Structure 1
Amino acid sequence: MIEYCSRLSDELCLKNLSFAVGDIAEFGEDKKPDIIITLHACDTATDYALNYAIKKGASAILSVPCCQHEINLQLKKNKAGENPVFEPLLKYGLIKERFSALVTDAVRGELLENFGYKVQMIEFIDDEGTPKNLMIRAIKKTGFEKETVAKKSSCKILQELGVSQTLENLLN
């Protein structure tokens, strides 16, 4: 894919495009990216990509998360299931899995907003193509100053569920 994209950008005479392969948690680049695109970055890989985009001040982010197991696994190990408010959402495996994914992406959206992005959660493809069709679209607001971001961007839903989330941890 890297070779194909590089060749295509050369054929189209597109300048200043780069493509890389590797562990996103280890990725480091000094340049400010204009746009970060992730497609089905599994579990917390999406968080590492979003963290990179936020810290480098990317102008735009298009992210299609996938396989959000982090919160679901924590819900099995904590006492959120004992809270009657969450009982119907945690009782059935499929519902719990979807709830966990929605919580994960909602927290990601909130954190992106906290760091100066206008965020939309959209469906980017018909359900027949893939059940994983939620896209986080984030555009950096102009005039947003990093100093206005609170040091601790804690999300209350995470506290209520008794779980943590990688992007929040990376940004704090």
Structure 2
Amino acid sequence: MQLTLIALIALYPLLRLVFARRPGVANAYARYAVLCAAACLMLAPFFWLVCAAFKDKDVLMQYTFLPPPSEWSLKTLNLSNFHTLFAGEESTSGRVYFWEYAVNSLFLSSTITIVQVFFCSLAGYALAKHRFRGKKILQAFMLSSMMIPGILLLAPM
């Protein structure tokens, strides 16, 4: 994510030049070229994730993405990670199953989403339809809390 952001910041002068409002076929091709380059930068981590899922622990850091086709074998590309994922893995507290954590996360996120939508719709209705003292301050506080990312407040200055 940080590498993508740095690359986009570095490409900013080129982006301004390409996306200037000028007619022309060359400008359209340049736009698509810049957009394709940005898409490749943003999709590279997902491609690496898929490639890493099929690699053994020993081969994981040996090759950036996939090993060369001449070295493809059951040792370099296999499904052992998926077998471990679905069969469970031994730990100090017993066997750990992926599905237990997946169902727990699904239940927790669904419950929180439903409760959040309910209370936010009530608050939104009150802010939109009723006048009360401190409404402007509350709206400004809510808007400013959305503008400033929470992680920014965690980092020491």
> If the TM-score is normalised by the length of the shorter chain, which range does it land in?
under 0.3
Give the number of the structure whose residues are more often strand, by fraction: 1
Give the number of the structure whose residues are more often helix, by fraction: 2
- Structure number, greater radius of gyration: 2
Return the structure number with greater relative CO, CA threshold 8 A, min gap 6: 1
Length-normalised TM-score, structure 1 = 0.21
